[in-house]
Structure 1
């Protein structure tokens, strides 16, 4: 063995177990991200992962005594990351952009309503396309469906808890955004929801996820456009995702009689300044 090769063996052997674990999982996650989860994990070869992660075989097999144990651990890691990666920042940016482009309309209830409708129409369709084409969402769906049946009870409990924890964080984040944006445009959640925006945020995400699954069997209906209410445009095209959110919005939200226009304009100025 050459001096360099001997040094490499010693270096790999000195890696701590958490570092070995993370290196191998990171390599596997990259493979899953590029190939997708729908083909299963048969394409993951432990020797290939060990080589690419630059860790020793002995250290790796002390962590996982079989490929099945490794796959169970990998699925927990995928669940943890997937459930916390569902927020589509580009959609939030579109909402802000539409608002900034229509500041002149926020002075009247009619104008604010037009901005709300246009935001729902444009942003939800973008969000739908972005989410259902993402690896994070595809992994999330796979883990909450068929793949859960391929692991033992202990791993299933860990995966379920990772998905639940990530979902809770996602709903909280989206509820905060929906509340901020609705109140910015003079709306508030109806009294029967006691100020809780989480059911609203959950239904919005369920529309996107449900249509994503429906698209697999019936894409022509899901991806079609339909006539809907006028926004700033007299006869705009609406998708099912946008129409679904509009229905939820109308059921949950009402105009805020205490709307503070000066506060909204000050926030819009701050948004514009941060965007420049």
Structure 2
């Protein structure tokens, strides 16, 4: 049942009212006993909750916080940039370069993932105020999924900060930073679907000693957020 439903969501997306996830239809397509299905999932909302969990846990980007290609870039940059840079200004420039390239790539890559599209659909449904099948259960599931994602991103920021000689400012944590970044990416993603040029149009700007670079708007925002949340570790 879950395999058939996952393939359907990959092909069609997940509709706001789950109209394309009908248990009777899936039972026929999967060729499984009807009695068994309804013993496991008494209604469609219960099935959808397990389906969403399966979609996220099958997405490699969910485990890392980034898609594989973006994560590979970050790891490569961590292996080289932090060691080469000697002065605090050079370390900051190296970190900005990591963020500049990683955010621009991830901003586009994440939109193509099934898990992300499902998350946006379901969060929109829950926040719409309309009656959503399994609304409270879905809200709890999304909260759990987002919490696990934030934990992974917080750990990534701990690694980045340590590599580039930074720490969180008193009063905020790596998880707070992850929340701020996630909210920014979510908002830009929403506007990007309406007007891609508004968000994706390149900006050429100098943010430090490295001089002018071509930035994605999200990269500038994330760089600014990271700077506001962190401080140098005194030598």
The interval holding the TM-score normalised by the smaller chain is 0.7 to 0.9
Partner in structure 2 of residue 263 of structure 1:
none
> Which is worse superposed, 141-150 or 198-207?
141-150
Q: Contact 1:79/1:159 (CA < 8 Å) preserved in 2?
A: no
For 1:251 and 1:81, how far apart are their aligned partners in 2?
36
For 1:173 and 1:44, how far apart are their aligned partners in 2?
30
Q: Which has the higher Rg, Structure 1 or Structure 2?
A: 1
Partner SS, residue 171 of structure 2: helix
Q: Contact 1:83/1:167 (CA < 8 Å) preserved in 2?
A: no
Partner in structure 1 of residue 106 of structure 2:
127
Q: Contact 2:89/2:209 (CA < 8 Å) preserved in 1?
A: no
For 2:47 and 2:41, how far apart are their aligned partners in 1?
11
The 3 A distance-change label for structure 1 pair 100 and 159 is same
Partner SS, residue 6 of structure 2: helix
Please, which of 87, 94, 105 is the counterpart of residue 73 of structure 2? 94
Question: Is 2:186 the counterpart of 1:209?
Answer: yes
Question: Is 2:160 the counterpart of 1:181?
Answer: yes
Please, which of 130, 135, 154 is the counterpart of residue 156 of structure 1? 135
Partner in structure 1 of residue 14 of structure 2:
37
> Which is worse superposed, 199-208 or 140-149?
140-149
For 1:113 and 1:202, how far apart are their aligned partners in 2?
22
The 3 A distance-change label for structure 1 pair 100 and 63 is closer
The alignment's TM-score, normalised by the length of structure 1, stands at 0.73
For 2:82 and 2:180, how far apart are their aligned partners in 1?
28
Partner in structure 2 of residue 241 of structure 1:
218
The alignment's TM-score, normalised by the length of structure 2, stands at 0.84
Partner SS, residue 32 of structure 2: coil
For 2:202 and 2:20, how far apart are their aligned partners in 1?
39
For 1:141 and 1:224, how far apart are their aligned partners in 2?
23
Write out aligned runs for 1:69-80 (5 A): 69-70=43-44, 72-80=45-53
Deviations 1:59-110 (A, max 9, x none): 3355567xxx22x123312443456654224222211112334355233222
Q: Contact 1:82/1:140 (CA < 8 Å) preserved in 2?
A: no
Count how many residue pairs are aligned between Structure 1 and Structure 2. 227
For 1:183 and 1:104, how far apart are their aligned partners in 2?
12
For 1:142 and 1:210, how far apart are their aligned partners in 2?
14
For 1:186 and 1:61, how far apart are their aligned partners in 2?
55
For 1:102 and 1:63, how far apart are their aligned partners in 2?
51
Q: Contact 1:99/1:115 (CA < 8 Å) preserved in 2?
A: no
Q: Contact 2:82/2:163 (CA < 8 Å) preserved in 1?
A: no
